[in-house]
Structure 1
Amino acid sequence: MDEKSTRQHKGNLLDIDIDTQNLQCQHRPSPGSALTIPRPTSRRGGSTTPRCSRTVSPYTDGSAVRAIILRSTQTLYGPSFAAGFFCAPPCQAFLFAIFIANFNSGYGIPLEENNMARVIWSTNRASPLGENATLELTGDGDLVLREIDGRLVWSSNTSGQSVAGMQITEHGNLVLFDQRNATVWQSFDHPTDVLVPGQSLLQGMKLRANTSTTNWTESKLYMTALSNGLYGYVGSKPPQLCYKYEVGTGQKGKDPTRVTFTNGSLSIFLQSTQAGKPDKRIALPEDKSTQYIRLEYDGHLRLYEWSGFEWTMVSVVIDMDNCDFPTVCGEYAICTGGQCICPLQTNSSSSYFQPVDERKANLGCAPVTPISCQEMKNHQFLTLTDVYYFDGSIITNAKSRDDCKQASLKNCSCRAVLFRYYHNDSDGECKSMTEVFSLQLIQPEILHYNSSVYLKVQLPPSASAPKQKRIKVILGATLAAISSFVLVIIVGIYVRRRRKYQELDEELDFDILPGMPMRFSFEKLRECTEDFSKKLGEGGFGSVFEGKIGEKRVAAKRLEGARQGKKEFLAEVETIGSIEHINLVKVIGFCAEKSNRLLVYEYMPRGSLDRWIYYRHNNAPLDWCTRCRIILDIAKGLCYLHEECRRKIAHLDIKPQNILLDEKFNAKLADFGLSKLIDRDQSTVVTVMRGTPGYLAPEWLTSQITEKVDIYSFGVVFLEIISGRKNIDISEPEESVQLVNLFREKAQNNQLRDIIDKHSDDMISHHQEEVIEMMKLAMWCLQNDSSRRPSMSMVVKVLEGAMSVEDCLDYSFTNAKSVISAQDNPSTCLDPPSASILSGPR
């Protein structure tokens, strides 16, 4: 396109200087200069365009871009930052945007055969432009967007600030600069829904998600930086908190809090932060190519990366279950197992809500009868038990459940109330909501409190109904109640007889058990594991095999024999099938088919802890930081089982083989087959001796067992992690075979440094004093008197630095050998583990 044809373009074009090395266009303003958005053309059709953009053919998905200024980020062919006009199919409306597209960097021509352009910023999400709208850099230095009729759509509001030009930086920041190259305005100060490397979200700024993948208008979901961390909200009056990443107390300083995407992490700098040192970092995959983070319409914060051929989602920055997001099921709908359903009255078929779209359940539900403030006397609540609501903020104390509900009925703007209590409903917490977003059905065992939601519904007026009609309703209800009662008796007799016959059958009916994970057929698991060909390990109750269900890797534990381990299998499914915690291995499903018994777990790529601390695979020693994190993870998992579940759960077999590691060496507890539930009103439970030699607490001899046996076992594992050896190792000299005895001797002689792992120069040279100090916590856990051992919540506080270890500890630890030799008839559970005991990845 020659100079003459350029000047014939509608309006006076900006003067353009092209830096061919950086592919950067700098625009020098002249009064009344403007750029026009032309209709997307085909490859064969011509179009008059500025020199630093070319005729753009639509991408294969129907979208198109017209780059006005361009900045290469990679090689000759690769993703580049550009500013210009973007249209999504069917290209009838346009955004002025910054986007990453694949350009032939030598010519600034988008490469159509690669993925569509990725928009990372735009000015007019709420008001897309029509054809022949203009972008104008006025003589007063203001960058403005106008429709063809002259209507102002957007302005940079920089009039009178001596703007000399416009450029896009290597980080994708659109900048207006003055004669001294000082920044007058920049897009980084006005983020939309994306962060790019080098960009910061300052306190007060917001990332706002799009409404959907095809609707570019702002949704109610947003993220913002506050004085003490990163927070996510869904917009209502008042806003409702759906996510928080707290990193401090929010002490005021001279600089605002900022969240910066840089160096392979999302770094959070508080107001009181020292220069250059973030308070917290959310680690991300290494920056190998062009990346960006987008707040998606569904609430997820995802990291995308250019792989060389296409854009791929490489990480979920905020790891939350889909049902935890406030708009996953629209308004009023309940999310359960990834499905969206409209709420129903408990134990009733009455329907007060209906889907917004029968074919799209995720769009939510709407009241059948809209709420009317003129008919407040006809308001009542729809009761939903065992339902959780994401927003736990702004909770007020309530004397009772009825007080919470009555206060809400008097306020017409209230649409629902959440009531939760820990012990009894006369001392609970109440929250009212002016807007109701997605609810979540939960199993009571998951939360350590009771949670109910009451949705306000509008009843039709009944005061004017004829008396005769009301009598018919009463009679009908009475007859229905009598009929239901008779039916219940008949069904009860039938079920009782059927159960009597089923008890004669060897096969357990697992379908009737509540809270079960997904059930698989044996044939399905045989196919997923390639006929159980890849064994990860084996233990006392069976073998573990690697498998793949869809694209997800799993570990399938197969219990050997028709009846062997049946009781333990049922205990595992009932106990942990509905329990989820970041430090507990998740049970995905199970199989109960004839004599086949299998459990399907999430796959843990680093395998069990023993392979990393016993050096069986010639692995490098773990650094002290990783060991501390593993110890803290184990403690948090046990703390959840002991103190945060509705019923106490004692693991009873804590050992390195039952502690699994993910790819980042985060630890999770596994194998609850030997667990025993302890009711809250019981202090002990009598049971047969079980567990693994070397990890058994002294009280196993008395059979008076509490969760404190896990704390003793934790102390033994603690020592193994620090010393890098087994607690019973016959390859050692006789006086050192038993680690607990050796620990007692070294503690009494003030020679604890001899216990430290000799393979770890990091621990010996740089953290010796800290390691020795940590050994005192192991001593506390190994006290013979179980009442003197700390609770797991106290252990977590010590590890996090919130409290100190108790003084005057008893060094006369009982060793594992004496416990076993004192047992006249040891249980079969006490057989030494086999050499290949579940130490591979699973």
Structure 2
Amino acid sequence: MSWQSPSGDFAFGFLPILSEENRFLLAIYYAKIPERTIVWYANGENPAERDSKVELTNSGHLVLRDPKGDEFWRSQSQNDAQVSHAAMLDTGNFVITSKSSNIWESFKYPTDTILPTQELDVNGRLVSALTETSYKKGKYQLRFNQGSLGLNQIEMFTRKNYNQYFFLGNGSLNRLIFEKSGYLQLQGSNGSLAKLAPENAVPQPELYYYRAKLNFDGVLTFESYPRNGGTWSAWWFRPRDICSRFVVEFTDKLGNGPCGYNSICEPIKGRPNCTCPPGFSFLDDKNPYIGCKQDYVSSEDCNPDGSTNEIDRFEFKSMQFADFPLTDYGILQPANELECKQSCLLDCTCVVAILQDPTLSKDGNGTCWKKKLPLTSGWFNRDAVDRTALFKTLAFSDL
């Protein structure tokens, strides 16, 4: 059962969470889209059990109660006042009003999405969901910071902010405006407007639904959906290459990137694609975005000087273009492939070495960069035709 807007475009109600059996999300969603695309949700951190209820209090709060009647979520309020009525509007905004003003509205408390006629001011923010199917708070945030609109990772345990990995603006911005016409614009402190999206196109709101969303993988997208049916299409996304944004500064300032530790990130159609290097596998096969783990436990049989005698246990697997540019702990120069492999093989700490081909270097001397765990900021640099990653893995006989 749901509460629909007059046009039927949007609905307010409970939706089942696909990743959690018999758990439900209080949400606003596109009612005419078969997938019921969600644009706002209440209780992502605490999904509702079957037979839970939502109440509207006299003072203007939405309250969720479990089957026993215990409260487990309550909306914030701009002010407490006697409720006149509530409405699900055709804009996608759910409002609770008194006789004189709005007491509460979903547009003032966005989750990961904004819609036409909605604005995000200097105190507002979008927070990504954890995954495509989990609506717990994720690790990305869109917010204003010192006059620019920026994206940053959030440390998952303390919820503290890392530095911005991408930002828009010149230091004088104070509002993100999604026009009714379908344009997404930034407003400066002097009232000037700068169009963000769509680029090189004129929106047609009579033919398309529009949304701007901070996705679970850290990419902000502007998307459309044909009103006569189809799929969501991204017209614009930022950053254009999220993988490369995390190789410009150490991860203690930016976070662990879209693919986590010990993984390799490559943008495909603007979104990060995560893979594990040879000798590693995903921490969670159902979620490739949280990182990879080594398939074997590194031997503790190391000599006091950091060397190992177990060289027969290992072999090398190569991967062109892969790199972890911020995790060097040892550099050999000049070095050829044999010298690079030998140095990593004898070193207990080394898990991968990046070799610059001597025949392709400017001075004819190769370079060997040795890396240790955890591997950070992994990416495919397709421009680095002279680089090959040499991963130290268990030999077949030791598997």
Structures share fold, TM-score greater than 0.5? yes
- Aligned residues between the structures: 327
User: Deviation per CA, 1:522-565, whole angstroms, max 9, x where unpaired?
Assistant: xxxxxxxxxxxxxxxxxxxxxxxxxxxxxxxxxxxxxxxxxxxx
Q: CA deviation at 1:295?
A: 2.2
The answer to whether the Cα contact below 8 Å between 1:67 and 1:84 also exists between their aligned partners in 2 is yes
- TM-score, normalised via structure 2 length: 0.64
Q: Which residue of 1 aligns with 2:31?
A: 101
1:189–1:444 Cα change, 3 Å: same
Hey, what's the Cα distance between the residues in 2 that align with 1:224 and 1:451? 37
Hey, what's the Cα distance between the residues in 2 that align with 1:358 and 1:162? 49
Q: Which residue of 2 aligns with 1:342?
A: 276
Q: Secondary structure at the match of 1:290?
A: strand
Is 1:185 matched up with 2:139?
no
Is 1:364 matched up with 2:296?
no
1:311–1:195 Cα change, 3 Å: farther
Q: Unaligned regions of 5+ residues in structure 1, if any?
A: 1-65, 74-78, 103-113, 345-350, 393-397, 403-422, 425-433, 458-842
Hey, what's the Cα distance between the residues in 2 that align with 1:143 and 1:274? 37
2:26 maps to a residue whose letter is F
Hey, what's the Cα distance between the residues in 2 that align with 1:177 and 1:191? 18
Q: CA deviation at 1:440?
A: 0.4
Hey, what's the Cα distance between the residues in 2 that align with 1:85 and 1:95? 5
Q: Of residues 249, 261, 265 in structure 1, which corresponds to 2:178?
A: 261
Q: Which residue of 2 aligns with 1:282?
A: 197
Q: Which residue of 1 aligns with 2:220?
A: 301
Q: Of residues 224, 246, 258 in structure 1, which corresponds to 2:168?
A: 246
Q: Secondary structure at the match of 1:188?
A: helix
Q: CA deviation at 1:125?
A: 0.9
1:183–1:313 Cα change, 3 Å: same
Hey, what's the Cα distance between the residues in 2 that align with 1:120 and 1:231? 21
Q: CA deviation at 1:156?
A: 1.9
Q: 1:121-140 alignment to 2 at 5 Å?
A: 121-140=40-59
1:240–1:334 Cα change, 3 Å: farther
Which has the larger Rg? 1
1:207 maps to a residue whose letter is L
Q: CA deviation at 1:341?
A: 4.1
Q: 1:797-816 alignment to 2 at 5 Å?
A: none
The answer to whether the Cα contact below 8 Å between 2:25 and 2:41 also exists between their aligned partners in 1 is yes
Q: Which residue of 2 aligns with 1:92?
A: 22
The answer to whether the Cα contact below 8 Å between 2:60 and 2:104 also exists between their aligned partners in 1 is no
Hey, what's the Cα distance between the residues in 1 that align with 2:59 and 2:245? 46
The answer to whether the Cα contact below 8 Å between 2:87 and 2:94 also exists between their aligned partners in 1 is yes
Q: 1:167-246 alignment to 2 at 5 Å?
A: 167-180=87-100, 182-236=101-155, 239-240=161-162, 243-246=165-168
Hey, what's the Cα distance between the residues in 1 that align with 2:274 and 2:63? 43
Q: Of residues 244, 249, 262 in structure 2, which corresponds to 1:332?
A: 262
Is 1:442 matched up with 2:381?
yes
Higher RCO (CA-CA < 8 Å; seq separation 6+): 2
Hey, what's the Cα distance between the residues in 1 that align with 2:182 and 2:89? 20
Q: CA deviation at 1:260?
A: 1.6
Q: 1:640-655 alignment to 2 at 5 Å?
A: none
The answer to whether the Cα contact below 8 Å between 1:265 and 1:282 also exists between their aligned partners in 2 is yes
Hey, what's the Cα distance between the residues in 1 that align with 2:54 and 2:243? 42
Q: 1:4-43 alignment to 2 at 5 Å?
A: none
User: Deviation per CA, 1:72-94, whole angstroms, max 9, x where unpaired?
Assistant: 34xxxxx5122222224487211
User: Deviation per CA, 1:418-437, whole angstroms, max 9, x where unpaired?
Assistant: xxxxx99xxxxxxxxx9866
Bigger proportion of residues as strand? 2
1:287–1:356 Cα change, 3 Å: same
Q: CA deviation at 1:184?
A: 2.0
Q: Secondary structure at the match of 1:312?
A: coil
1:379–1:241 Cα change, 3 Å: farther
1:337–1:160 Cα change, 3 Å: closer
Q: Secondary structure at the match of 2:69?
A: coil
1:95 maps to a residue whose letter is L
Hey, what's the Cα distance between the residues in 1 that align with 2:63 and 2:306? 50
1:264 maps to a residue whose letter is G
Q: Secondary structure at the match of 1:292?
A: strand
Q: CA deviation at 1:212?
A: 2.7
Q: Secondary structure at the match of 1:318?
A: strand
Q: Unaligned regions of 5+ residues in structure 2, if any?
A: 247-256, 308-318, 333-361, 364-372, 393-399
* Root-mean-square deviation over aligned CA pairs: 4.9
Q: Percent identity?
A: 21
Q: CA deviation at 1:145?
A: 1.0
Hey, what's the Cα distance between the residues in 1 that align with 2:163 and 2:324? 11
Q: Secondary structure at the match of 1:72?
A: coil
Is 1:67 matched up with 2:6?
no
1:134–1:440 Cα change, 3 Å: same
Q: 1:425-504 alignment to 2 at 5 Å?
A: 439-443=378-382, 445=384
1:342–1:150 Cα change, 3 Å: same
Hey, what's the Cα distance between the residues in 1 that align with 2:40 and 2:387? 40
1:185–1:444 Cα change, 3 Å: same
1:366–1:83 Cα change, 3 Å: same
Q: CA deviation at 1:452?
A: 11
1:300–1:198 Cα change, 3 Å: same
Q: Which residue of 1 aligns with 2:9?
A: 80
Hey, what's the Cα distance between the residues in 1 that align with 2:117 and 2:177? 7
- TM-score, normalised via structure 1 length: 0.33
